Amino acid sequence: MKALLVHPHGSNWMGSGKDITTIFNLMPPIGLLSIAAFLESKGIDADILDCYGAPATVEEHARDILSRGPDVVGFSCTTSSFLEGYAIAECLKQMNADVRIVFGGSHACSAGAALLNDFPAIDFLVIGEGEITFWELLHDRFRNPESIPGVGLRRDGKGVLTSTRENIPDLDALPFPAYGRLRGFPRRYNLPLFSYPKAPNTSVISSRGCPYQCSYCDRSVFSRGFRFNSPDYIVEHLEYLHRDFGIRHVFFYDDLFTFDRSRVERFCILMEKKRLPVGYNSIARLEHVDAELLALLKRSGCWQVNFGIESGDPEILTKHRKLYDLGQVEQKLNMVRETGMRVKGLFMMGFPGETEQSIQRTIEYALTLPLDEINVTKFTPFPGAPVYRTIREHGEFDEDWPSMNCMNFVFVPHCMTRERLEELYNEFISRFYRRSRIHWGYTKMLWKSPHSMGVFLRNLPEILRFEMKQKW
């Protein structure tokens, strides 16, 4: 049996024209790569189509898929990419009614088996982690799916879930993701511009789940438990990437890379001892770091630390995220800067309960912090997030799935307008980046991240066209 795994693109942030976001950031679909590697370890031929890395029409994607001769096609979709994925699935069924279609990913897991009631081209859903469930479906050749936990199927024409699939307890038992199955890897893929010193580079995920309960986070795939790879496994993973693909820098895309201090300390010691020529970035919570840990990160090759600050308004933080002392944030960020690592702040705008005043407080607060760069996303109430259940009580929600990519204000809080949110968003970005300190920081990227500067200059005409379109 042959499987082909598809990562649909979905809508881009402009809604039309070339998606220039792939210039600045194109990371591999790690979840699908992990499933492909697991299938191959069980003797099943697995191929991958990443629609981000190979843009085409729905019909072109369908023809490409069928030309590879799969028996089953698996789609991993976010909310924003689900309808494009389904359009490809419908096209596949029209071209070959015998091909099996399986959907998984965050949207399928949050919507649940009821998704099958409205989307007839889907044969089965994988709810939860995909490696074992998908393999068992293929190994069984779909003869007795009722016996397999974590499967959404139709019973008497209605979508139902077989039973709950338990999480994989030992992540070290999984093979390294099948990066080699990606066409053009690693050359076609790239971390966010100016967030790395060397190329080629890629992303790595070394843990699953999260014990925290932020109102806006969808935990429907991995749940609230927290599991992680051992330090030895992670270092072997980096050695594999460097040896087989020449990778020189990685981004640990874990929400809680620094959650287990003993794990991080052991990892840092191993990296120092082995002198592996691979640097890295990580995401950390402010509550988890101190001067001693940050020094360890720096010595082991960490180049940049990203922090989810989200808001500069205490009331908003209290409602949507565990409140930390805003007064200590600057102190923690300065600790990072003192080690010589870069620091990036992650913010979100348009929360339920947000007002113009709370957004202005966030903007003013961000401008006081020692940040090298920021990323500001637009609050999106995903179906698997706790806030989704009551979201319409807090404002206007346009549940347009393709637009739910954190780049559109699909939710507008009471007493706000979408137009004003966009104005404040643009003000935030403009005021932060149009400062001499930030300009000088990017000037230094000429020698700190020459590859980023080269990519930026090669794509400058496209970037300028985008800027002009935004102004008009």
Domains in the chain and their CATH numbers? 2-161 (3.40.50.11460), 191-434 (3.20.20.70)
Contact 31, 105 (CB under 8 A): yes
What is the DSSP secondary-structure string of 131-193?
Answer: HHHHHHHHHTTTS-GGGSTTEEEEETTEEEE--PPPPPS-GGGSPPP-GGGSTTTTTT-BPST
| CA 347 to centroid of chain Cα atoms | 15
Q: Which of 222, 108, 228 is nearest to 166 (CA)?
A: 222
Distance CA 4, CA 51 (A): 13
Place of tokens 């942030």: 13
Mean pLDDT over 183-189 rounds to: 92
Q: Does pLDDT of 18 surpass 60?
A: no
pLDDT at residue number 432: 97
Tokens representing residue 370 in the block? 């020692």
Q: DSSP secondary-structure letter at 370?
A: -
Contacts of 273 (CB under 8 A, 6+ apart): none
Please give the pLDDT value at position 120.
Answer: 97
With the C-alpha atoms ordered 259, 264, 266, 267, is the resulting torsion angle positive or negative? positive
What does the chain come to in residues? 472
Residue 472, pLDDT above cutoff 60: no
Q: What percent of the chain has pLDDT over 70?
A: 94
Q: Across the beta sheet with 72-76, what order do the strands follow?
A: 45-50, 2-7, 72-76, 100-104, 124-126, 151-155, 158-161
What average pLDDT does this structure show over 33-41?
Answer: 98
- Determine the pLDDT at residue 112: 93
Q: What percent of the chain has pLDDT over 90?
A: 81
Instruction: Indicate the helix (H) or strand (E) that contains 302.
Output: strand 302-310
Question: Is residue 210 pLDDT above 90, yes or no?
Answer: no
Provide the whole-model pTM. 0.94
If one compares 126 and 214, the residue with the highest pLDDT of the two is: 126
Six token digits for residue 229? 């790879």
Question: What is the token pair recorded at 42?
Answer: 């069980």
Mean pLDDT, rounded, for 304-325? 87
Checking if the pLDDT of 15 tops 50, the result is: no
pLDDT tens-digit profile of 436-451?
A: 999 999 999 989 999 9
When mean pLDDT is compared across 110-119, 132-141, 459-468, the lowest value belongs to 459-468
239 to 30, 135, 174, 235, 261: CA distances (angstroms):
17, 27, 16, 6, 22
Sign of the C-alpha dihedral computed for residues 151, 154, 156 and 160 taken in this order? positive
Question: Which residues face 204 on adjacent strands?
Answer: 252
| Lowest-confidence segment of 25-39, 317-331, 357-371 by average pLDDT | 317-331
Over residues 255-265, the mean pLDDT reads 91
Please say whether the beta carbons of 336 and 330 come within 8 A.
no
Residue-level pLDDT at 457: 87
Chain CA centroid to CA 26, Å: 11
β-strand pairing of 124-126 with 151-155: antiparallel
Region 46-73 average pLDDT: 94
8 A C-beta contact, residue 462 and residue 18: yes
How does DSSP classify residue 6?
Answer: E
For residues 299 and 272, is the Cβ–Cβ distance under 8 A?
yes
Q: Is the pLDDT of residue 12 over 70?
A: no
460 pLDDT above the threshold of 90 = no
pLDDT for 33 equals: 98
What confidence category does residue 49 fall into, taking pLDDT thresholds of 50, 70 and 90?
Answer: very high
**Mean pLDDT of the residues in the chain:** 92
Q: What per-residue confidence (pLDDT) applies to 323?
A: 61
- What is the rounded CA–CA span in Å between residue 450 and residue 194? 9
Write the pLDDT tens digit of every residue in 271-290: 999 999 999 999 998 888 99
